[in-house]
Structure 1
Amino acid sequence: MKKLLAVSLMAVVASSAFASAQCPAQPKDKWQKEADFKKQLEGQGYQIKKFKVSGNCYEIYGKNKDGKKVEIYFDPVSGKPVKSDIES
């Protein structure tokens, strides 16, 4: 029983660690255009290696203006980050 509980707890912790960001569902016609949004981020100093739509979010992989690796999820309407992972 203890072993089953431990395995179940590890599965919950692992799944929450890999959960993607949650952006509210909004009509696509309200989203910022991908090309415009990328230009805006590049203007802020981001070097984008990969840009994709992840659920209801825009997601980038690349480097910030300080050269640190980043993975950031953005609300595609407001453009605000909703989740980020920045190299220390």
Structure 2
Amino acid sequence: MKKTSLALLVGALLLTATSAYAAADCKSYPKEEWASEESLKEALEAEGYTIKKFKIDGSCYEIYGRNKEGKKVEIYFDMKTLAIVKAIGLKD
């Protein structure tokens, strides 16, 4: 009985740990409906963000960089609306 309880606890902890770092759940759109990468980059830079890395992650645009306060961020955007789907503040 103890082995089963321990196995369930370890499994639950692993699920919790991995879900905290899971990618954002963005809606999928046909490529012709995607907003341009350049428009997102320009909007972010106009708001004071510095983009270190820009990529497509599944159905999201994802950036790694720094916000206007200079703090590291990881942000996922909807590819059509450019709305923020998930934002993570990273430790320096």
TM-score normalised by structure 2 residue count: 0.88
Q: Does 1:10 align with 2:3?
A: no
The DSSP-based 3-state class of the residue aligned with 2:38 is: helix
- Identity fraction in percent: 48
Question: Does residue 82 of structure 2 align to residue 79 of structure 1?
Answer: yes
Runs of 4+ in 1 over 3 A off after TM superposition: none
Q: Which stretch shows the higher mean deviation, 35-44 or 45-54?
A: 35-44
In the superposition, the TM-score normalised over structure 1's length comes to 0.91
Task: Give the whole-Å Cα distance in 1 for the aligned partners of 2:56 and 2:90.
Answer: 22
User: Which has more radius of gyration?
Assistant: 2
Query: Unaligned regions of 5+ residues in structure 1, if any?
Result: none
RMSD: 1.3
Segments of 5+ residues of structure 2 without an aligned counterpart are: none
Deviations along 1:20-75, whole A, 9 cap, x unmatched?
Answer: 10111111111111122211211111100000001100000000111111000001
